[in-house]
């Protein structure tokens, strides 16, 4: 037995202890040896980048829980209130909408006919430099552009009841009007270059003027996801069927989501706001406005994805349209003006090419040109929203014009603190978070007053 104990002792090595080292590892070991600052202090930010991703995760959790609470509250108060059978669109509106949808593109065909007539007339050497003829053809194009908007506006104002149908028709009309304008202005310059042997961009060599006036070229521009006319566009090599199916799925799913949120959440909030507006209980109206803001910003973001990511990419894929920069990272905008340059690239390129830069060439300053661009945009916004709701109350126009002082106020912030300035970005988001639901509420109230609902 003693031999076994001796073997165990010999196999186990007991470390030797150093009393001096062991004393330093006890209760007197120094823990405060360096000069440090709290990581949330300003001095700490200069040494290392502060990581707050845990708070970001907390914000996500709070956002999800808050919206879940709203879901439960909405169901307890209103139940399942979505109209399954119908959207409340009258049959006459559907019929008129179909006729009007077929009529609107005829203005693009008419622009092509005007341009063909112009080049045939001006080819004659006697007429080439005739100022009167050039002015007459420009006037014909202008009348066609005006008629494209005016006819649809009158039809919607007097014959279409439902705001959704009216909005779709007016948006279609505005898009075609801008396309007709770009088609007329671009071909006018191409015509002048052709008659005077002036150089044109190298990209257009494959379809020189007037061969670009072919019907196939016109149809391509009609369906291309752009508002700016070019005889030639960059093209993708083929059509990806899987990409097309994915875009169609996104459009269908997100459209159903927009319909669900609008009917189940936005509509009850709007309806409950009407009595409060009548009795001028503005504190409760503001509470409804904040509720509506949460829903409207989600619907707006979903609408952005539907239009600029899914629908335009779907059209681009089918038409093999190569330049698909329909938007940039507008959500990081450090100023309101940066947002307007980044979020709707097709509209931005149209205004810059056909209004902003021509005004600058004529001697207008950058500020004056910007004001004119915003004024035209404000008129179009009021036309679409005001005519569709049969209430030209100027709210959409004023909202767009207010973007000018907001742009001037946030631009210095972006210049001082860089394009990613937090203050400018928060001002931009706050203006949209509260501005959009306020506009919706005012137009909904005007609609109910007009139709005594």
Asked if 385 contacts 396 with a C-beta cutoff of 8 angstroms, the reply is yes
16/395 Cα distance (integer angstroms)? 87
Q: Which residue has the tokens 């137009």?
A: 443
Active site residues: 381
Nearest Cα to Cα of residue 152 among 222, 91, 100: 100
Cα distances from 243 to residues 118, 206, 291, 310, in angstroms, run: 42, 29, 36, 10
Q: What is the DSSP string of 391-435?
A: ---SHHHHHHHTHHHHHHHHHHHHHHH-TT-HHHHHHHHHHHHHH
Nearest Cα to Cα of residue 332 among 418, 435, 232: 418
Cα distances from 9 to residues 1, 5, 12, 17, in angstroms, run: 13, 6, 5, 17
Q: What is the DSSP string of 307-371?
A: IIIIIHHHHHHHHTB--------GGG-SSHHHHHHHS-HHHHHHHIIIIIHHHHHTT--HHHHHH
55/61 Cα distance (integer angstroms)? 10
Helix axes 403-417, 422-451, angle to 10 degrees: 170
């Amino acid at each position: 037995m003693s031999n076994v104990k001796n073997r165990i002792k010999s196999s186990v090595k007991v470390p030797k202890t150093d009393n001096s080292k062991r004393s330093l590892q006890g209760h007197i070991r120094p823990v405060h040896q360096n000069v440090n600052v709290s990581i949330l202090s300003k001095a700490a930010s200069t040494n290392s980048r502060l990581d707050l991703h845990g708070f970001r995760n907390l914000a996500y959790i709070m956002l999800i829980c808050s919206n879940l609470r709203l879901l439960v509250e909405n169901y307890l108060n209103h139940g399942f209130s979505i109209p399954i059978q119908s959207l409340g669109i009258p049959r006459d509106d559907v019929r008129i909408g179909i006729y009007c949808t077929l009529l609107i593109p005829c203005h693009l065909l008419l622009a092509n006919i005007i341009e063909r007539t112009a080049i045939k007339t001006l080819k004659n050497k006697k007429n080439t430099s005739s100022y009167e003829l050039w002015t007459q053809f420009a006037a014909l194009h202008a009348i066609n552009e005006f008629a494209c908007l005016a006819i649809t506006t009158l039809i919607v104002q007097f014959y279409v009841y439902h705001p959704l149908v009216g909005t779709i028709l007016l948006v279609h009309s505005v898009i075609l009007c801008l396309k007709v304008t770009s088609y007329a202005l671009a071909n006018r310059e191409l015509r002048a270059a052709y008659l005077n042997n002036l150089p044109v961009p190298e990209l257009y060599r494959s379809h020189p003027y007037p061969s670009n006036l072919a019907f196939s070229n016109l149809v391509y521009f009609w369906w291309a996801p752009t508002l700016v006319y070019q005889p030639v566009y960059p093209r993708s090599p083929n059509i990806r069927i899987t990409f097309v199916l994915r875009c169609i799925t996104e459009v269908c799913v997100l459209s159903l989501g927009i319909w669900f949120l609008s009917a189940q959440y936005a509509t009850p909030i709007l309806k409950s706001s009407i009595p409060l507006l009548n009795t001028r209980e503005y504190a409760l109206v503001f509470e409804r406005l904040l509720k509506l803001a949460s829903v409207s910003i989600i619907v707006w973001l979903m609408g952005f994805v539907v239009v600029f990511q899914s629908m335009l990419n779907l059209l681009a894929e089918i038409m093999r349209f190569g330049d698909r920069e329909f938007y940039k990272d507008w959500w990081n905008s450090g100023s309101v003006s940066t947002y307007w340059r980044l979020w709707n690239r097709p509209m931005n390129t149209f205004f810059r090419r056909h209004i902003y830069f021509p005004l600058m060439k004529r001697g207008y300053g950058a500020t004056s040109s910007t004001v004119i661009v915003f004024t035209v945009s404000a008129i179009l916004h009021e036309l679409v929203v005001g005519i569709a709701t049969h209430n030209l109350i100027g709210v959409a126009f004023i909202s767009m014009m207010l973007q000018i002082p907001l742009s001037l106020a946030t631009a210095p912030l972006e210049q001082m603190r860089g394009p990613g300035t937090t203050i400018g970005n928060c001002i931009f988001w706050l203006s949209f978070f509260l501005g959009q639901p306020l506009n919706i509420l005012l137009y909904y109230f005007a609609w109910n007053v007009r139709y005594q609902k």
